[in-house]
């Protein structure tokens, strides 16, 4: 067993007991000792790669320390994948859900390891230049999102994961309330933006599965052909609601060369990748949906992303964390509010 990683040694996980449970529960596990590798740690659930020779799985668990009561619901995520994977095979197959304090203090689950490459901060050399791979990735991410939205969530018994009636209205008012709770500095244009979001809310005409975090670094790409998507990750926020919210959020993360600092690493600002407008038009073409109100959904998504960062900045400013990454987050937060206002004025798309 890998015990040499200092980021793993101090964590209160009984790896020996976990290995025993895996061998007892999943047939065909090789006799090789269990290897443990912690994936890059973001701001959400923690993930580990568990390997037994050439057999691999991924463990997902909530963060260590105190967390909000309804946050990081691993059981809900496991339940979604259990029903979705058979009709949307890009979702990982779940293996086990476990709530055993003798193993760790939080519940967790194991799922299949989707084999491939996740593009995060840079394009792997094996893929070549952005001009070579940008067009095919741009098309495939739209195709895979539309494929998800075409799943009949009623037939796979996923009605219980969300409340589609009033989805957008609840979202807008909930995020405005959330911002009030973590507000620190006065930001120019925010009050006008919030008033516009309330007044100009589009009518939802269709409901689908909403991933809620459908972006490039949540996709697993084929190692030899980046135009082929092998997996879609991070289903913790999936729900039922307005499908336009997913394309709006995706376009928010789909950075362009002219964007200011928004606190994220992006590769789509390089030559070859479609522009946001081209992505929106591609979505309209493939999905058949009217994108007349696309600026609303993108502006709202910029607003939400600003608040996500504001929550982290609030913790730093209140002295609840000394993480240096958070100390200058007021800069990308202000930029995101600006981008939201530019979008609503139709100056971005």
User: Which residues are CB-contacts of 29 (< 8 A; sequence separation ≥ 6)?
Assistant: 22, 23, 52, 55
Residue 349 belongs to some domain of the structure: no
Examine the domain organization and report whether 161 and 259 are in the same domain: yes
For residue 44, give the DSSP letter.
S
Residue 215 belongs to some domain of the structure: yes
* CA gap 105, 91 in Å, rounded: 27
Residue 216 belongs to some domain of the structure: yes
The burial of 286, by beta-carbon neighbours within 10 Å (0-12 exposed, 13-18 middle, 19 or more buried), is given as: middle
Examine the domain organization and report whether 170 and 272 are in the same domain: yes
Q: What is the CATH number of the domain that holds 291?
A: 3.90.1200.10
User: Which residues are CB-contacts of 163 (< 8 A; sequence separation ≥ 6)?
Assistant: 170, 240
Which residue, of 79, 112, 145, is where some domain finishes?
Answer: 112
Number of domains in the chain: 2
Determine the pLDDT at residue 213. 95
Pairing of strands 55-61, 108-112: antiparallel
Examine the domain organization and report whether 157 and 223 are in the same domain: yes
Residue 79 belongs to some domain of the structure: yes
Which residue, of 49, 78, 112, is where some domain finishes?
Answer: 112
Beta carbons within 10 angstroms of residue 161's beta carbon: 20
Cα R_g (the chain), whole angstroms: 21
Which residue, of 87, 112, 137, is where some domain finishes?
Answer: 112
Q: Which domain holds residue 232?
A: 125-344
Compute φ and ψ for 10, nearest 5 degrees.
Answer: -85, -10
* CA gap 181, 123 in Å, rounded: 38
User: Which residues are CB-contacts of 274 (< 8 A; sequence separation ≥ 6)?
Assistant: 134, 135, 138, 139, 282
Whether residue 151 contacts residue 209, with contact meaning beta carbons closer than 8 Å, is answered with: yes
Q: What is the CATH number of the domain that holds 54?
A: 3.30.200.20
Answer yes or no: pTM beyond 0.85: yes
Tokens encoding 215: 């972006």
Residue 88 belongs to some domain of the structure: yes
User: Which residues are CB-contacts of 258 (< 8 A; sequence separation ≥ 6)?
Assistant: none
What stretches in the chain show pLDDT beneath 50? 1-7, 9-10, 68-69
Tens digit of each residue's pLDDT (9 = 90 or more) over 169-213 = 999 999 999 999 999 999 999 999 999 999 999 999 999 999 999
31-55: buried (b, 16+ CB within 10 Å) or exposed (e) per residue? eeebebeeeeeeeebbbbebbbeee
């Amino acid at each position: 067993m890998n015990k040499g990683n200092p980021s793993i040694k101090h964590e209160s996980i009984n790896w020996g007991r976990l290995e025993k449970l895996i061998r007892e529960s999943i047939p065909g596990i090789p006799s090789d000792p269990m290897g443990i590798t912690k994936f890059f740690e973001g701001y959400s659930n923690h993930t580990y790669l568990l390997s037994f020779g050439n057999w691999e799985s991924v463990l997902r668990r909530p963060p260590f320390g105190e967390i909000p009561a309804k946050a990081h619901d691993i059981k809900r995520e496991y339940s979604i994948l259990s029903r979705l994977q058979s009709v949307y095979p890009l979702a990982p197959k779940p293996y086990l859900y476990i709530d055993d304090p003798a193993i760790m203090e939080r519940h967790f689950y194991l799922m299949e390891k989707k084999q491939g490459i996740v593009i995060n901060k840079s394009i792997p050399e094996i893929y070549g230049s952005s001009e070579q791979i940008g067009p095919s990735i741009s098309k495939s991410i739209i195709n895979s999102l539309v494929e998800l939205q075409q799943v009949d969530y009623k037939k796979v018994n996923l009605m219980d994961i969300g409340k589609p009636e009033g989805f957008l209205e609840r979202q807008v008012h909930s995020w405005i309330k959330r911002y009030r709770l973590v507000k620190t500095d006065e930001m120019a244009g925010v009050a006008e933006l919030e008033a516009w979001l309330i007044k100009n809310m589009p009518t939802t005409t269709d409901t689908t599965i909403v991933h809620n975090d459908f972006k490039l670094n949540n996709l697993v790409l084929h190692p030899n052909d980046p135009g082929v998507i092998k997996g879609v990750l991070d289903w913790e926020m999936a729900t039922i609601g307005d499908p336009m919210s997913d394309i709006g959020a995706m376009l928010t993360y789909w950075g362009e060369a002219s964007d200011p600092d928004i606190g994220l690493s992006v590769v789509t600002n390089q030559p070859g990748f479609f522009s946001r407008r081209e992505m929106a038009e591609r979505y309209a073409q493939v999905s058949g949906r009217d994108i007349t109100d696309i600026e609303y959904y993108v502006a709202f998504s910029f607003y939400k992303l600003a608040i996500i960062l504001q929550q982290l900045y609030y913790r730093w400013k209140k002295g609840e964390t000394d993480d240096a990454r958070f100390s200058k987050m007021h800069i990308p937060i202000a930029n995101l509010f600006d981008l939201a206002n530019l979008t609503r004025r139709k100056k971005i798309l």
